Each structure stands twice: as C-alpha cells, then as structure tokens.
Amino acid sequence: MGNNGAGVAERDAQRVYSALDGFRIEVPSWGFANTGTRFGKFIQGGAATTIEEKFSDAAQVNALTGASPTVALHVLWDLPHGRADVPAIQALEKKYGMKSGSINPNLFQSAEYKYGSIANPSAEVRGMALKHLLDSVAIGQALGSKDVSLWIADGSNYPGTQSIRKRIGWMEEVLGATHAALGEGQRMLVEYKPFEPAFYHTDIADWGMALELVRRCGPKAKVLVDTGHHAQATNIEQIVTWLLHVKELGGFHFNDRKYADDDLTLGSIDPYQVFRIFHEILSAEEKERADVAFMIDQSHNLKGKVEAMVQTVAMAQELYAKAALIDQAKLAELQQECRLVEAEECFRSSFWQDVRPIVREWRVARGLPAEPLKALAESGYVEKITRERESRNARSVSTYA
C-alpha cells in the first residue's frame, strides 16, 4: 500500500507538472482598467489607464504565475484612434518581457454602430466596420500576434424591425473580406453571445451561427467560446467537444457567471464546469488542442485588479491540474462498460483532490513563488502603482479604457 501510495503520488505529480508546463492563459488589458457596471464607473487608484501600465500589470501577473506571457489588446481602448504605434508597443514588449496577444477590434462603441456594424443595413457603416477590421488585421500582423478576436454586438431590440436574413448576408461579406486579408499564421476568432446589448435578436447568437460563418470564411477562421455567453444550463463542455471534433475551436474567453455575462472570476461560481471543459480539452488529440487559445475575459469592478487577475490565473492552473489528474485510460474503460457510478467516481474524485500541494511544489520547482497572491501582497506592487497612478485616476472621467 505504502509503495502503491508513493507510486500514485509520483504519477499525479508527473501529470500535474507536464500539464502546468504547457499551460498558458492570456490576460486582457481591459481587466486592469477602470470599469464599472452600466449604472456607474468605479475608479480604483491603482487601475491602469495607459497601455504601458497595462503591460506592467500583466507582466506582474506573469512573473507570479509563469502562465501569462501575452496580453490581449482592445483596439479602441488601447490603441488611440485604432492605430498602433508598433515600435512603441514593441519597446513595451521588450521592457516588460511580454508579447501582444489577441487583437480585439471594437465594433460596438461608435455612434455609427447604433443599428449594427458588419450587419448594419447601411453599406457605408458596414464599410467603416470592415475598414476597422482590416486595420486590426494589419495591427496583428505588424505585432506578430496570431489572433484577431471578433465579437459582433449587432442585433435588434424588437421583432420585425430588422431583416435577420439580409443581415446574415452582410456579415458573410464583411467577414469573408476580413478573412481574405489575414496573413500567414494569422487567424480570426469569432465569438458568439445570445444577448446584450441587443435584447431581441443578436446576429451571431450561438455556436451554430458562429460555426457556419467561420466555415464559410475559410480555414483561418475559428470559433471563440466565451464561457459567459450561453443561456443558463447550456452544456458548454459538449459544445467544446463538438468544436474540437470538427476542428473549429479557436479558443476561449474564460470567466464565470451566476446570471448572465457577469465576467466574474473563473471558477468562482462553478469550478466543476471549468474542470469539465478542461477535461474535454485534455482528452482531445494533441494536435486538436494545440491551437486552442486560452484567454481571460473578465473585468473586476470590486476586487483589486492585479490581485483578481493573479487569483484567476492561479485558479485556472489548479483546475487544469485537477483535470490532468483524471485517469483517462481507466475512465475510458469504465465508460465503455457502462459502469456508471464507478466512472462518475473516477471523474469527480480528481475534481475533489486537493492539488494545491503539488501545484505549490511545481511553482517552486519552476522558480515561481509558492503562493502567488501572498507574493503579490509582499511585493508592494499594488501600493506602488496606487501611489503612482492615484492622482491621475482621481481626475479620471474615463469609461471602460
């Protein structure tokens, strides 16, 4: 028993080490910025307002967790007038040891997009949206970033007020033209969302619509699953499995929610769901999952921003480690023989296993702090940025960015 116990511990450690060595999750620049709710903005003294501050905060998260070497950029919020000063961003990448991650066009804030962007009945507005998408592709190319992540907020609020059918055709045209502009190694990821800001119909409302659109665009277009973008009770891991199966899963925007698109900390409400999603990914073939980008899409209104992001990445690492512990061969056998209770026990016992000691060991073995949140508190980083940024934030009337 003693030997067997040691053998199991050794096997578990190996599984966790190899999973965590390969685990990367991108942090969003907007997660470090001042945000709020639709009822008001809450300004934090230490929030980032410049792209340099966002790189600095992201680098801090990466230094503490070893898992977030890229930062997602939102074109309108990070790159003034939708233009990127490429040498300046490259200098920041060098200074902070970070890379620019996904480029997120913004097709939802300009007044022109009141009735939509790429699905707007006006050819002129669609042209403006296409230009912004092409600019975003060019920015991604210049920065050597792989993914352009598109979220299309278009839709309508009342039945009969828009032609759902014509809007499909308009989207196909603009997305097709965007796909045609992608360079070697570049991809476009298409995100779906059932509602908000539109409350009757959203033009890309679910994974079926996103999948059909990316297929029509071509091989460089893939579907992006934001975990907050589903109707309640949707089986997200099943969608993930289908998208992996048909080789059209491009990546994730991870966050958690209780009600709608709440953008709460990953795993804070339902960690078992994240575990189930990670299990599906880890049970896919190596080549199927190689191109699945993990990204965080959260905004922390009440929590300290850097603290919340470190907590998120650490949580993601723990849940990934738990999923890596599942004895895949054993589980497959039990499933095949329909030994239901045993299969379920095999599955859920990995979820309930406390992986924190192994994850802590892994961190130390990789030269990282054993307790990232504690290390953040001891580093004084948050106090430092708060001192430096406080007076500017106090004057700030800024919105999302």
Which parts of this chain interact with ligand LRH (CB under 6 A)? 30, 104, 151, 191, 193, 226, 253, 261, 297
Q: Residue 35: which H helix or E strand, with range?
A: strand 35-37
For residue 97, the 8-state DSSP code is: T
Minimum CB distance to ligand LRH, residue 193 (Å): 6
Identity of the residue, 254 or 278, whose beta carbon is nearer to ligand LRH in the bound complex: 254
Is residue 147 involved in binding Mn ion (CB under 5 A)? no
Question: Rule CB under 5 A: which of 210-249 touch Mn ion?
Answer: 226
Question: Rule CB under 5 A: which of 342-361 touch Mn ion?
Answer: none
Rounded Cα gap, residues 296 and 183, in angstroms: 25
Minimum CB distance to Mn ion, residue 191 (Å): 5
Cβ burial 169-184 (10 Å sphere, 16+ → b, else e)? ebbbebbeebbebbee
Token pair 């491009």 is found at 250
Identity of the residue, 172 or 196, whose beta carbon is nearer to ligand LRH in the bound complex: 196
Give which of 148, 294, 278, 313 is closest to 217, Cα–Cα: 148
278 binds, among ligand LRH, Mn ion, none (CB under 5 to 8 A by kind): none
Task: Output phi, psi for 45, to 5 deg.
Answer: -55, -35
Rounded Cα gap, residues 191 and 312, in angstroms: 21
Identity of the residue, 104 or 241, whose beta carbon is nearer to ligand LRH in the bound complex: 104
256 binds, among ligand LRH, Mn ion, none (CB under 5 to 8 A by kind): none
Identity of the residue, 192 or 347, whose beta carbon is nearer to ligand LRH in the bound complex: 192
Give which of 286, 302, 299, 313 is closest to 372, Cα–Cα: 313
Which amino acid is residue 228, in one-letter code? G
Identity of the residue, 119 or 358, whose beta carbon is nearer to ligand LRH in the bound complex: 119
C-alpha distances (whole Å) from 65 to each of 24, 26, 54 are 10, 12, 17
Q: What residues are paired with 344 via a beta bridge?
A: none
Which amino acid is residue 232, in one-letter code? Q
Minimum CB distance to Mn ion, residue 227 (Å): 9
Minimum CB distance to ligand LRH, residue 387 (Å): 28
Is residue 300 involved in binding Mn ion (CB under 5 A)? no
Measured from each CB, the residue nearest to ligand LRH is: 151
For residue 374, the 8-state DSSP code is: H
Identity of the residue, 226 or 280, whose beta carbon is nearer to ligand LRH in the bound complex: 226
Minimum CB distance to ligand LRH, residue 28 (Å): 7
Please identify which residue in 297, 299, 325, 369 interacts with Mn ion, judged by CB under 5 A: 297
Identity of the residue, 104 or 136, whose beta carbon is nearer to ligand LRH in the bound complex: 104
Identity of the residue, 56 or 106, whose beta carbon is nearer to Mn ion in the bound complex: 106
Q: What residues are paired with 256 via a beta bridge?
A: 264
C-alpha distances (whole Å) from 167 to each of 61, 78, 130 are 41, 29, 15
Interface with Mn ion (CB under 5 A), residue total: 4
104 binds, among ligand LRH, Mn ion, none (CB under 5 to 8 A by kind): ligand LRH
62, two tokens: 């990466």
Minimum CB distance to ligand LRH, residue 80 (Å): 18
Residue-wise DSSP of 120-162: -S-HHHHHHHHHHHHHHHHHHHHHT--EEEEE---EESSTTSS
Please identify which residue in 256, 261, 280, 318 interacts with Mn ion, judged by CB under 5 A: 261
Rounded Cα gap, residues 69 and 65, in angstroms: 10
Residues at the contact surface with Mn ion, assessed by CB under 5 A? 226, 253, 261, 297
